[in-house]
Chain A
Amino acid sequence: MSQLRPDLAVIAANVAPGSRVLDIGCGDGALLAALRDGKQVDARGMELDPHDVAECVAKGLSVMQGDADTDLVDYPDAAFDYAILSQTLQTTKRPDQVLDELLRVGRKAFVSFPNFGHWRVRASLLWHGRMPVTRLLPVAWYETPNIHHVTVSDFRDLVAARHLTVEGAWYLSGDKRISDAAASWRAEHAVFLLSR
């Protein structure tokens, strides 16, 4: 699993072996393949981009072309042990509703997202008055797929407001772990494991 993106490596390390997993926005299926091969997980995926779906099928994965905003309704309740949404929440039309759906189809949910409260983002806005283009957010505001910019603090608030249980939280800068206290400023990525 050494090739995995740091947030995916965190998720892969914390999924129970032999469980049923739905990765929503699974991209080219790197996480699913790692879970299937490393943890004998029944790994399913959903992905919007047909090229990525084709890539997943070529890896022998079971992936449905679909949209996190609209197509999760087709899955029965608690069909999966984990629903995973990595780097996708900020691109959905209604992140709050997607979060509800995650915890409907999955008993638990992993959610990872880029922290728009990272100090570089704050500094760029404060000093230049411009939406940042950084290593983490390499695309200008007008063409970024990220339509809901969320910070670690925002997400903690949403989780509290919905009375969700945080079973685990991991904060990352590159592949380095950041403490909970420093996460709001210094984390580039956050990974949450949630349950109801």
Chain B
Amino acid sequence: MADAEALLAQSHVLEHTAPLALDGGQALNGARIAYETYGRLNADKSNAVMIFHALTGDQCVASPHPITGKPGWWVRMVGPGKPIDTDRFFIICANVLGGCYGSTGPASLGPDGQPYAMRFPVITIRDMVRAQVGILDALGIEQLHAVVGGSMGGMQALSFAANWPERTRAALVIASTARHTAQNIAFHEVGRQAIMADPKWKGGDYYAAGKGPDKGPDKGLAVARMAAHITYLSEEGMHEKFGRKLQDRTEKTFGFDADFQVESYLRHQGLSFTDRFDANSYLYITRAMDYFDLAEEHGGRLADAFRASKARFCLVSFDTDWLYPTAESRTIAHALNASGAPVSFVELSAPFGHDSFLLDVPALDRVIAGFLKQ
């Protein structure tokens, strides 16, 4: 990439030497967290911003994807002179615990030299954050300028602000929620069941077959992705893009080929996803999201979750997002207000549904740049 030098992109791996205590009661030995950094940490280590990625994201927020080679998932937001300005901030983005881009997850080798598979402990959003706080300790960063995240990244940002309140001065939470609803859990369960119903899943022990097309539960994972992908788009957006248009044909075939463009699109999304994601990671990460309930962790009152925080908060929702609709962000904003925290909340108008936070929404750029500028 042309501005790779200006980005000062660097890849690192944190090796946790102490066992990582998990919410489920287990501890994970030798956990590794892969992360990217961009920009330069200043002398008093006060300019660090931690970005948390979403369910199927990765640490390459502004550098080429390690498998597909496509530009980083948030290049429009992160870079020199961009809203999250690498000329000014030192950006840290880690692959979550349980992920499949270099951090310890179900595909990693366990103590017996075999992949963990389903012997990997069930993890939570807070566990993911705990593993990433280790990066700050390793770098000697006492306090972040801000934590930033969209979707599952927003859950991590909330969890960070609630559980490590002294470690950040600000939290920016986009298109996210403080808890998974029954509907959210339901969609994830469809995905998990699709994976587990694939005969090639084999109780999670598919790694011995090696990598490559159809070595693992690709069909199940593709269906999981197709179902999830629908939840990331808006009805209007989908209708506008595809309508009832047919794919490379003028007539319906009276068969079960992908007659409609939307079918073809979803099949492609599902299939290409299997090239870049581990099915077991998908199980574990969706489980962590389903278990997320920030109020429950803090005695049932969301406002209590933020009692120790002195951070500034900004919550952003999108009017066409029905996965984590505006009401969820509003609930968080009210809880923060009740706890006396400085909080801003805005619902932006964008046609792209939940995915709006990743796409071209200039108003979001302004909000992010403005919030981080302070």
| Given A74-B337, A75-B337, A76-B338, A58 and B344 contact (CB-CB distance below 8 Å) | no
- Contact across chains for A51 and B337 when beta carbons are under 8 A apart: no
Complex contacts, B346 vs chain A, CB 8 Å: 50, 53-54, 57, 63, 65
- Contact across chains for A57 and B333 when beta carbons are under 8 A apart: no
Of the A-B pairs whose beta carbons lie under 8 Å apart in the complex, a sample of 26, sorted by A's number, is A50-B347, A50-B349, A53-B345, A53-B346, A54-B346, A54-B370, A55-B366, A56-B344, A57-B314, A57-B346, A57-B367, A57-B370, A58-B371, A59-B370, A60-B374, A62-B343, A63-B345, A63-B346, A64-B333, A64-B337, A65-B345, A65-B346, A65-B347, A66-B345, A74-B334, A76-B338
Instruction: Report the nearest B residue to A45, measured CB to CB.
Output: B344
Nearest Cβ distance between residue B5 and chain A, in whole angstroms?
29
> Beta-carbon contacts of B149-160 to A below 8 Å, as 1s and 0s?
000000000000
- Contact across chains for B344 and A61 when beta carbons are under 8 A apart: yes
- Contact across chains for A62 and B344 when beta carbons are under 8 A apart: yes
Q: Does residue B13 face the partner (Cβ distance < 8 Å to A)?
A: no
Closest 9 CB pairs of A and B: A58-B370, A60-B374, A62-B342, A53-B346, A64-B345, A57-B344, A65-B346, A74-B334, A57-B370
Question: Known contacts A51-B363, A58-B371; can you find 16 more A-B pairs with CB under 8 A?
Answer: A50-B347, A50-B348, A57-B314, A57-B370, A58-B366, A58-B367, A58-B370, A58-B373, A60-B370, A60-B371, A60-B373, A61-B344, A64-B344, A66-B345, A74-B334, A75-B337
Q: Does residue B298 face the partner (Cβ distance < 8 Å to A)?
A: no
Query: Which of A32-85 touch B at CB < 8 Å?
Result: 44, 50-51, 53-66, 74-76
Complex contacts, A50 vs chain B, CB 8 Å: 346-349, 363
State in angstroms the CA–CA spacing of A53 and B371 once bound together.
11
- Contact across chains for A54 and B312 when beta carbons are under 8 A apart: no
Interface contact tally, CB-CB below 8 A? 57
Q: Does residue B227 face the partner (Cβ distance < 8 Å to A)?
A: no
| Given A57-B371, A58-B367, A58-B373, A63 and B334 contact (CB-CB distance below 8 Å) | no
Q: Does residue B133 face the partner (Cβ distance < 8 Å to A)?
A: no
Nearest Cβ distance between residue B310 and chain A, in whole angstroms?
13
State in angstroms the CA–CA spacing of A55 and B369 once bound together.
11
Nearest Cβ distance between residue B128 and chain A, in whole angstroms?
27
Instruction: Report the nearest B residue to A60, measured CB to CB.
Output: B374
State in angstroms the CA–CA spacing of A50 and B362 once bound together.
13
Nearest Cβ distance between residue A168 and chain B, in whole angstroms?
28
Complex contacts, A61 vs chain B, CB 8 Å: 344
State in angstroms the CA–CA spacing of A67 and B333 once bound together.
14
Instruction: Report the nearest A residue to B319, measured CB to CB.
Output: A50
Instruction: Report the nearest A residue to B362, measured CB to CB.
Output: A54
Query: Which of A101-131 touch B at CB < 8 Å?
Result: none
**Max chain A Cβ within 10 angstroms of own Cβ: one of B342, B346, B347:** B346
**Max chain B Cβ within 10 angstroms of own Cβ: one of A55, A61, A63, A65:** A65
State in angstroms the CA–CA spacing of A75 and B337 once bound together.
8
Complex contacts, B347 vs chain A, CB 8 Å: 50, 65
Nearest Cβ distance between residue B361 and chain A, in whole angstroms?
11
State in angstroms the CA–CA spacing of A76 and B371 once bound together.
26
Complex contacts, A57 vs chain B, CB 8 Å: 314, 344, 346, 367, 370-371
Query: Which of B327-341 touch A at CB < 8 Å?
Result: 333-334, 337-338
Complex contacts, B345 vs chain A, CB 8 Å: 53, 63-66
State in angstroms the CA–CA spacing of A122 and B275 once bound together.
73
State in angstroms the CA–CA spacing of A14 and B320 once bound together.
42
- Contact across chains for A53 and B337 when beta carbons are under 8 A apart: no
State in angstroms the CA–CA spacing of A66 and B373 once bound together.
24
Instruction: Report the nearest A residue to B369, measured CB to CB.
Output: A58
Instruction: Report the nearest B residue to A56, measured CB to CB.
Output: B344
State in angstroms the CA–CA spacing of A195 and B334 once bound together.
25
Nearest Cβ distance between residue A30 and chain B, in whole angstroms?
15
| Given A62-B312, A74-B337, A75-B337, A54 and B342 contact (CB-CB distance below 8 Å) | no
State in angstroms the CA–CA spacing of A63 and B345 once bound together.
6
**Max chain B Cβ within 10 angstroms of own Cβ: one of A54, A55, A66, A74:** A54
- Contact across chains for B374 and A64 when beta carbons are under 8 A apart: no
Nearest Cβ distance between residue B303 and chain A, in whole angstroms?
10
> Beta-carbon contacts of B304-318 to A below 8 Å, as 1s and 0s?
000000001010000
Complex contacts, A62 vs chain B, CB 8 Å: 312, 342-344
- Contact across chains for B337 and A54 when beta carbons are under 8 A apart: no
Complex contacts, A63 vs chain B, CB 8 Å: 344-346
Nearest Cβ distance between residue A63 and chain B, in whole angstroms?
5
- Contact across chains for B334 and A54 when beta carbons are under 8 A apart: no
Nearest Cβ distance between residue A144 and chain B, in whole angstroms?
23
Instruction: Report the nearest B residue to A22, measured CB to CB.
Output: B337
Nearest Cβ distance between residue A33 and chain B, in whole angstroms?
12
State in angstroms the CA–CA spacing of A128 and B367 once bound together.
46
Instruction: Report the nearest B residue to A42, measured CB to CB.
Output: B342
Nearest Cβ distance between residue B302 and chain A, in whole angstroms?
13
| Given A50-B363, A54-B363, A64 and B343 contact (CB-CB distance below 8 Å) | yes
Nearest Cβ distance between residue B148 and chain A, in whole angstroms?
14
State in angstroms the CA–CA spacing of A50 and B344 once bound together.
11
State in angstroms the CA–CA spacing of A62 and B371 once bound together.
10
